[in-house]
Structure 1
């Protein structure tokens, strides 16, 4: 494993980069300052294979010392990756000049590990580099051709030049000199002017005109000073005119000056090649245009994306004519409307512009462009354009938008979309729109099938019913799944009698279906409530509540029937129902008729997969020590009432704070009992939105823990994403207070809202509980898999652990184990039990 020094001031970025490098097998020492980095490199004597550092935004002496130290002969064998927001000339120069160095932009930070490994594993010998440095600063690598018809002159100058480190070959005539120059790799040619048959200026001219020898540095040497000789030599391409009568020291000084020019030219060429290499290695496409808008260069990434094979296919051609003159639909973009063309012409900066480029094969790709005007010597020489193919990002954005408006199980529109559509319908009523209606559909046999045949059967039933309804709705109707076994349909342009008739048709349609699962047949039916959307509708929420109430009335009538909302009688019925539940909840609190159930949350690393196909998954009993606390209500007849039956009423009558406190008090008492018995367990407790907003809650929890002597770290509080967003300031305050005490927090139902990832920046939570809708579909649905993998990746980068709910079968558990989820919870692991230390695990 390669030892790596990471230098990054930001603690968050240090954590992210450390995790990224460690996942790729690097052993990381992370420091926060250049001073610490120098100490690690020099004082401690530790051996590192590579360094990753962020290029400083501002210069300071310690950072300059670090960069100088890394550029020293002792540290040049060390691989260095420089991270920067954007490449400027100083960074490019330092990175391209120093061996074994790469510049990576922050937007491509995932490439850091790959770049560092490539640099470390490349062959590099310190001795060979030092030899190269010495050669570069000496004259021994300068090859010279001396042309003179006199053997004694040739011999004396060859000895003089050789003694001073030059590699010298000689020729006796213009023809011999030209032939030798074409066959060898010479840097300098010194040519006698007066020679038999032809003069030296003729050889200079021929060497300049020949592509093989055109870059040689040429000098004329003569025995007499004549203005015509000097003028002819300079006109023919010589850069020096020397005289045989001058002192040897002056002659050598002239040759040394020519050598330094050659070394400088070589250095510039090497710098150009390095910069070209960096340009070609950049992942984004880059091309340049001149002031007339014609392409001057294009890197390999741009050629690959656009489909160009050779420079002849694009050099000197307008990019608008080649690949950005048409919109994504193929329609031509008028030149005056092309923002990129305007930016080229005016030398304007353009950042983050999204458009479409067309490949040579005729395929449109979405790209994001940045245009920078190019200035050389203070003069604008055109523009440089960087672009990236954002096809995958666009696809993911489309998937997330789809997910925000659709139900993950049935693929129908979801409650969020339906509420927006209802709001639009109600608003359009005042603009002369025709009346419409809302159907609220509740399946009558869902709970029975779900409980007896399993959750997979229940899911299959919901999918089948969704498809049946989808096959009947009109183009002007809106069908959505509200959640659980409830569906809704907005009927456009219908009167009251028509709405009731259409609802009856849907009821008969569902009743005519037979659900078959595992060779068993089930008759199904639905209760349907109808609410009109007309001038009397005050809000979309009122319409939805009216339809929901009408559906309840339909169920009370015996199920499998339709009821149209009747304002007077149904409102009274609803009030009686709500008041009845409210009274029962008050009595339950006073008479202590609530119970707790405990649902295990198990670290996935402790779940042992079967060794044979079809074998049982196992969890060591000692590893089951974390439970979510669930609430149950004991009815007057002793029957257990599940929370979904009474919690909506509790929320409407503001009873949730009292119920949450009852749960909290009993959970802490149970923790104290378990700890007194020597058992180390942890509880997760749900808090409602109303409870979170209570400013006295934190102090009350502190007193409760102190009174029972319970370790605060044994409590984890779960808050839903929706309640956290609704009460963001209160949620943050509560989290900060209780986390300082040692309690932990989980963000529940994560992923159910479109802004989920953004909440991680606002809430310091320890766990993310992935919404069960995504968990249940990971085996069969690619969108659910993509969402789960994204949540896991973001959580790991943020140092947050993940919990997957609704693990109902072995296939889901196996996939979650492979995807990196930390904890699992669901009936396949264990059903909720009344006693936390007597839980059977793995169904």
Structure 2
């Protein structure tokens, strides 16, 4: 029956009553339709065995092998997972099919997450959120920090933050592509907003993959032109540790970005014993304080440390952004210690 139903496929007995079918160039819908056709044909069969008539059913686990697919053993494991899913869903009755969806397993399977990341880049499944930043000096909030989120198609409607998927992205060399996706899509939205709010600007965090990418100034320059060519419309920020790890490259990269009107920031600032020296060497336009400073701001010793760090940073003509402000008292303190 399999040979008749899947004439174009490669069919083999896997073990006992388990068979595998390899078939090329079918969409997810076509695969599901084929599985239903096989299921229906086999369940409708009347099988003559000796002098008796009997019937049987089939359970079909479907796994797509994409260009970025996992190792063969992982694919087999997924096929088994798909069959086990049917067993659970049908209380061991079978006579069903299930298509393995990497997005449903991305929270627990690194290979599935890597595939889902590729799909998210290709099919725009990421989401961007924009947090307004209040400028004390100018009393305005038209500067927006961009946050990346990855919604999963699981039963819990999980949404992943970058700290949950960037390690996998790094392993599979996807960070540069994710950075590029953020840049392009954030600037698209900025361009729309600037039609009615021409002073709008964005602050975008990128990874070390972009910090060392020689093409970054060219890409940023094109995007700045696309949003009106205004200097300061785009600010790119990098982690202080990444900057420290690539000091010479960061200095030349920051200079090249500055030449095209792109502002530069360092986030998680103040975590190194040489934070001021790093800032002086690479000359960013802005630093964004590490969270610990704000969490402990009510402690006198920590308040003095913040004051000293901000004063020394301001002396280099570098603005200081104080994040994670949750209450009015912290806002008042940030004003008093010199954060912009």
Structure 1 and Structure 2 fold alike (TM over 0.5): yes
Residue 760 of structure 1: how far off its partner (Å): 2.1
Instruction: Indicate conservation of the 8 Å contact 1:629/1:686, yes or no.
Output: yes
In structure 2, the residue matched to 1:580 is 112
Secondary structure, counterpart of 1:624 in structure 2: strand
CA distance in 1, matches of 2:222, 2:213: 15
CA distance in 2, matches of 1:658, 1:672: 21
In structure 2, the residue matched to 1:650 is 169
Instruction: Indicate conservation of the 8 Å contact 2:127/2:151, yes or no.
Output: yes
In structure 2, the residue matched to 1:819 is 337
Query: 1:805 and 2:320 equivalent?
Result: no
CA distance in 1, matches of 2:231, 2:171: 31
Instruction: Indicate conservation of the 8 Å contact 2:236/2:264, yes or no.
Output: yes
Query: 1:604 and 2:136 equivalent?
Result: yes
Instruction: Indicate conservation of the 8 Å contact 1:672/1:710, yes or no.
Output: no
CA distance in 2, matches of 1:703, 1:582: 29
CA 1:810 to 1:729, structure 2 compared with 1: closer, same or farther past 3 Å? same
Q: Deviations over 1:303-358 (max 9, x none)?
A: xxxxxxxxxxxxxxxxxxxxxxxxxxxxxxxxxxxxxxxxxxxxxxxxxxxxxxxx
CA distance in 2, matches of 1:590, 1:729: 33
Query: 1:784 and 2:316 equivalent?
Result: no
Match of 1:794 among 309, 312, 330: 312
Residue 707 of structure 1: how far off its partner (Å): 4.3
In structure 1, the residue matched to 2:146 is 629
| Structure 1 residue runs without a partner (length 5+) | 1-575, 608-622, 823-843
CA 1:740 to 1:632, structure 2 compared with 1: closer, same or farther past 3 Å? same
Q: CA RMSD in A?
A: 2.0
Within 5 Å, which residues of 2 pair with 1:353-364? none
Instruction: Indicate conservation of the 8 Å contact 2:128/2:146, yes or no.
Output: yes
Instruction: Indicate conservation of the 8 Å contact 1:767/1:800, yes or no.
Output: yes
Secondary structure, counterpart of 2:149 in structure 1: strand
Structure number with greater CO (CA < 8 Å, separation at least 6) is 2
Instruction: Indicate conservation of the 8 Å contact 2:179/2:207, yes or no.
Output: yes
Match of 1:698 among 217, 238, 252: 217
Q: Deviations over 1:243-288 (max 9, x none)?
A: xxxxxxxxxxxxxxxxxxxxxxxxxxxxxxxxxxxxxxxxxxxxxx
Higher gyration radius (CA): 1
Q: Deviations over 1:40-77 (max 9, x none)?
A: xxxxxxxxxxxxxxxxxxxxxxxxxxxxxxxxxxxxxx
In structure 2, the residue matched to 1:595 is 127
CA 1:706 to 1:816, structure 2 compared with 1: closer, same or farther past 3 Å? closer
Q: Deviations over 1:641-660 (max 9, x none)?
A: 22222122212322111000
Q: Deviations over 1:671-703 (max 9, x none)?
A: 211122343201001111111111111112222
In structure 2, the residue matched to 1:661 is 180
CA 1:821 to 1:705, structure 2 compared with 1: closer, same or farther past 3 Å? closer
Instruction: Indicate conservation of the 8 Å contact 2:296/2:302, yes or no.
Output: yes
- TM score, norm. by length of structure 1: 0.27
Within 5 Å, which residues of 2 pair with 1:190-205? none
Secondary structure, counterpart of 1:662 in structure 2: helix
Secondary structure, counterpart of 2:232 in structure 1: helix
Residue 726 of structure 1: how far off its partner (Å): 1.1
CA distance in 2, matches of 1:691, 1:590: 19
Instruction: Indicate conservation of the 8 Å contact 2:280/2:316, yes or no.
Output: no
Instruction: Indicate conservation of the 8 Å contact 2:220/2:262, yes or no.
Output: no
Instruction: Indicate conservation of the 8 Å contact 1:776/1:808, yes or no.
Output: no
Match of 1:749 among 265, 268, 277: 268
Instruction: Indicate conservation of the 8 Å contact 1:674/1:680, yes or no.
Output: no
Within 5 Å, which residues of 2 pair with 1:116-515? none
Instruction: Indicate conservation of the 8 Å contact 1:601/1:624, yes or no.
Output: yes
Residue 627 of structure 1: how far off its partner (Å): 0.7
CA distance in 2, matches of 1:761, 1:819: 20
CA 1:814 to 1:708, structure 2 compared with 1: closer, same or farther past 3 Å? closer
Residue 631 of structure 1: how far off its partner (Å): 0.3
Q: Deviations over 1:97-135 (max 9, x none)?
A: xxxxxxxxxxxxxxxxxxxxxxxxxxxxxxxxxxxxxxx
Residue 704 of structure 1: how far off its partner (Å): 3.0
In structure 1, the residue matched to 2:58 is none
In structure 2, the residue matched to 1:246 is none
In structure 2, the residue matched to 1:770 is 289
Secondary structure, counterpart of 2:235 in structure 1: strand
CA distance in 1, matches of 2:277, 2:197: 41
In structure 2, the residue matched to 1:676 is 195
Instruction: Indicate conservation of the 8 Å contact 2:176/2:209, yes or no.
Output: yes
CA distance in 1, matches of 2:222, 2:318: 28
CA distance in 2, matches of 1:704, 1:680: 16
CA distance in 2, matches of 1:669, 1:721: 27
Instruction: Indicate conservation of the 8 Å contact 1:597/1:630, yes or no.
Output: yes
Instruction: Indicate conservation of the 8 Å contact 1:596/1:631, yes or no.
Output: yes
- TM score, norm. by length of structure 2: 0.64
CA 1:776 to 1:670, structure 2 compared with 1: closer, same or farther past 3 Å? same
Instruction: Indicate conservation of the 8 Å contact 2:126/2:151, yes or no.
Output: yes
Secondary structure, counterpart of 1:713 in structure 2: coil
CA 1:755 to 1:676, structure 2 compared with 1: closer, same or farther past 3 Å? same
